[in-house]
Amino acid sequence: MTLELQSEPVSLGGPNPHLDLRTQFPALNQSISGHPLVYLDSAATALKPRVIIEAVTSIWGRDCANIHRGVHRMSQRATERYESARERIRSFLGADDAREIVFVRGATEAINLVAHGYAMPRLGPGDEIVITGLEHHANIVPWQVVRDRTGATLRVVPVDDAGQVSTAALKNVLGAHTKLVAIAHVSNALGTVLPIQEMITLAHDAGAVVLVDGAQAVAHRPVDVSAVDCDFYVFSGHKLYGPDGIGVLFARRSLLESMAPYQVGGDMILNVTFEHTDYNELPHRFEAGTPSISGAVGLAAAIDFVSSIGFDWIEAHERRLLEACLEALGTVEGVRLIGSPAQRSGVVSFVLRDVHPHDLGTILDGEGVAIRTGHHCAQPVVERFGQVATARASFGVYNDLRDIDALIGGIRKARELLGQ
């Protein structure tokens, strides 16, 4: 059976409803092995639109100076753009205070900052950290380090056969000794959207603070940290159509004020003698050294970009792509979908019978189709479904139904080449 999909360009609402979003991404203006590039790897990193590239290069080309304390004009302009980016991110996340926004290199560093600055000094034997079975390695390994150094216990909320983590399952794991809960907003391996609002309420009722890993969420759905009432929220810029090497930690001001710096050195200090150092005020005490100034400015531009499109449009568009992809994959003999969560973001993991995902990915690359293969830095959840690796297609605003056509055509060709 061949599923015919209606192919049409991605358009952006507003003054020019026929604007093709693909034309805004220079990386898509290329061919791979003689085929137009079909990019279905946004969960690993999103492509960059021209406005973000221009924002980054404008720092390097015009305002290439270090921030804070510089009295010359270029330094003042760079500082203003850097701190304006912080305010833009505060607004985007719905935080109350720009001092609650800490720039880091990515979600991984943000989680490590919380692990070392908050959890390590507070936890001890008998205390418990709770995570879910859906987590990325970046939200597993730091808590293992805390466990090993403090004597605390690490507990895992199980994943059901659909690839979901229920509030009932979380409630069964929470207890009087739970001090911290760290959960993904969206699973990078399966696309599962976790019910974080209910989970946060349960964790708070148990007396725990909550960290939410939003790396796979912020490009696809609105986030309001005040509304969900989380204590920490982290994300990376490169999955939000922004630069790599930049990320954000949101943390309640009261928690940041109680935390020791994770790294020390320049720009996070007020005064240094050989006998004593006074640390800088929030949030600068957590931003040691020269930060990614261009990254912060590019991230703010990325937020403006997705905001101009609108999350109503983004969610509807990606839902359409997801439904079309799931339907089309269901027509290909030998394809097995991994996970079937009721609430799902634009991520589809699957395997092709008797074909290693790496081989499938290589054949698809020869057709110009870029997907991700492996355990996706989420080895426990992949193994939960009896696999060592899966193929993963993930969507961005630049994808359309033609890309689903190309993916399905490439999978069918792989079956033919491999004699299925």
With a CB cutoff of 8 Å and minimum separation 6, the contacts of 346 are 42, 191, 220, 318, 319, 321, 322, 394, 395, 396
Quote the DSSP letter at residue 37.
Answer: -
Measured over the CA atoms of residue 83, residue 214, residue 308 and residue 41, the dihedral's sign is positive
Residue position matching structure tokens 């719905």: 94
Q: For residue 149, what are its two tokens?
A: 């150094």
Polymer length in residues for the chain: 420
Phi-psi region of 16 (alpha: psi -120 to 50; beta: other; left: phi over 0): beta
Q: For residue 19, what are its two tokens?
A: 């604007």
Nearest to 179 by CA among 211, 132, 149: 211
> What residues act catalytically?
377
Enumerate helices (H) and strands (E) in the chain, giving the number of each: 14, 19
Rounded to 10°, the helix 311-329/401-417 angle is: 30
Phi first, then psi, for residue 289 (nearest 5°) are 80, 180
Strand partners for 182: 131, 211
